[in-house]
Amino acid sequence: MAIRACGSARWAFKVSEWRPSMEELMLACSCIQEEEKQRLAKFVFREDFNSSLMGRLMMRKFIADATAVPYDAIILGRDEKGKPFWSNPSGSDRRVDFNVSHQGDYCVLAGCVSQERATATKIGVDIMKMEYTGGKPLSEFFRLMTRNFSPSEWACIKSRKSNEAQLVFLDGNYDAKWKFEESLIDSQHCVAVSLLDTPANYVPVPFERISFEQLMDGAKALLEIDEIYCHNIQRKEYKS
């Protein structure tokens, strides 16, 4: 896993295959902030806990690798909409933006790095497992979806070919400042990335699968090992 020369990262962690040992869990839980540790403990099912934990670790890893700021000096906050952000970037000559998403088998991160003096790129990511469980015929599903797009958006959707670049609409109007990428993680999961104000030399970056060992490379504990906390987490049931 690496930060590309163009200042971007696309990482995918297959959470469904991660059934951590007690030692791995204790290590991972010591590398997040106390308030996040307590928030994650509220999840009922283990899959949700694991996915959210991986998201926090991916954010810390990305910032540390992108900026060379010590791992245990990074502080993550949340904005008014609940989106995580790096809250203590003073002293760094770089600006970073990142977003995580998890659904199905994966947790993904999309991140970008900009020089402080440059316009910072903004980024969003969303992963979706390609399955339909709505309980209605697909024709009814698409009929209901009609209200979610403006007439101009539907005209664009119906007229476009599969190999054409994606457009972004805001409030029904085409916004040329945004770029939109779609790709497959595997045959059952697709991921979309949205970018605002990308540099002129930007090229799309493919997602790469990462392992727990890669994710924890360079990690430093923020908290003391909490065996009682981790034993309680280990008792949470998996959905499947």
Domain residues of the chain, as ranges? 8-235
Distance of CA 45 to the CA centre of its chain: 20
Quote the CA–CA distance of 173 and 121 in Å, as a whole number: 21
The upper half-sphere exposure of residue 142, i.e. CA atoms within 13 Å in the direction of its Cβ, equals 6
Determine phi and psi for 202, rounding to 5 degrees. -70, 135
Quote the CA–CA distance of 70 and 232 in Å, as a whole number: 30
Max Cα separation, the chain? 57
CATH of segment(s) 8-235: 3.90.470.20
Contacts 24+ apart (CB under 8 A), 195-201: 195/112, 195/121, 195/122, 195/123, 195/124, 196/121, 196/122, 196/123, 197/119, 197/120, 197/121, 197/122, 198/112, 198/121, 199/6, 199/7, 199/114, 199/118, 199/121, 201/6
Contact (CB, 8 A) for 153 and 68: no
Quote the CA–CA distance of 70 and 60 in Å, as a whole number: 10
The whole-number pLDDT of residue 116 equals 57
Determine phi and psi for 79, rounding to 5 degrees. -80, -175
The upper half-sphere exposure of residue 158, i.e. CA atoms within 13 Å in the direction of its Cβ, equals 9
Quote the CA–CA distance of 9 and 59 in Å, as a whole number: 11
Tell me the residue type at 102: H
Quote the CA–CA distance of 128 and 191 in Å, as a whole number: 6
Q: Is the pLDDT reported for residue 164 higher than 50?
A: no
Radius of gyration for the alpha carbons in the chain, expressed in angstroms and rounded: 19
pLDDT tens by residue, 107-157:
999 998 877 545 567 899 999 998 766 666 756 666 666 766 677 766 766
- Of the candidates 159, 185, 130, the residue with the CA atom closest to the CA atom of residue 15: 185
- Of the candidates 11, 32, 33, the residue with the CA atom closest to the CA atom of residue 112: 11
Placement of tokens 């000096």 in the chain:
73
The pTM score is: 0.81
**pLDDT confidence bin for 160, thresholds 50/70/90:** low
Would you state the structure tokens that stand for residue 193, as one six-digit string?
Answer: 């990335």
pLDDT tens by residue, 2-60:
666 457 899 999 999 999 999 999 999 999 999 999 999 999 999 999 999 999 999 99
Quote the CA–CA distance of 52 and 217 in Å, as a whole number: 19
Would you state the structure tokens that stand for residue 131, as one six-digit string?
Answer: 């399955």
pLDDT tens by residue, 166-216:
556 555 565 667 888 889 999 999 999 988 877 777 778 899 999 999 999
Distance of CA 66 to the CA centre of its chain: 16
